Amino acid sequence: MIKKVNHIAIVVADLEESMRFWVDALGLELAHTEHVESQAVDVAFLPVGDSKIELLKPTDNESGVARYLEKRGPGMHHLCFEVEDIVAALARLKAANVQLINEVPVMGSDGRKFAFIHPKSANGVLVELYELKSV
């Protein structure tokens, strides 16, 4: 059901400042950054093999990511697994009494489908599932 880790998202207060660790010291490469209006974040994508580290910086004070930063400070926000079939994955999780944030996949602007699993059901970790658009 799970193909791989697609990305790990980390909330930061300042992208430039955070690059000093992830890029300058650790040696990851910055592939690109983009603004995601729907989540009110700037995202920096740092590929690691087949996966990515995504640094999320809130661009307003109201969004989920902004509230997370205010409450807990910078840190790991979620882990994302790529799945073959997200509808089947959600059905299987639901049958196992896992608490889902999105019972139905959300359609991303680029055609990928995603859904979040509640941290209560995942040892305190917010888990995202991705089904990429088949090419």
φ, ψ of residue 51 to 5 degrees: the values are -115, -175
What per-residue string of b and e applies to 61-84 under the rule 16 or more CB within 10 Å gives b? eebebbebbeeeebeebbbbbbbe
CB of 125 to Zn ion, least distance (A): 12
- Interaction site with Zn ion (CB under 5 A): 9, 80, 128
Of 9 and 10, the one with the shorter C-beta distance to Zn ion is 9
Min dist CB 78 to Zn ion, Å, is: 6
Return the number of the residue (74 or 97) whose C-beta is nearest Zn ion.
74
Nearer to Zn ion, 128 or 131 (CB): 128
- Least Å distance, CB 123 to Zn ion, is 18
Nearer to Zn ion, 93 or 117 (CB): 117
Minimum distance from residue 95 beta carbon to Zn ion (Å): 24
Residue 63 φ then ψ, to 5°:
-65, 165
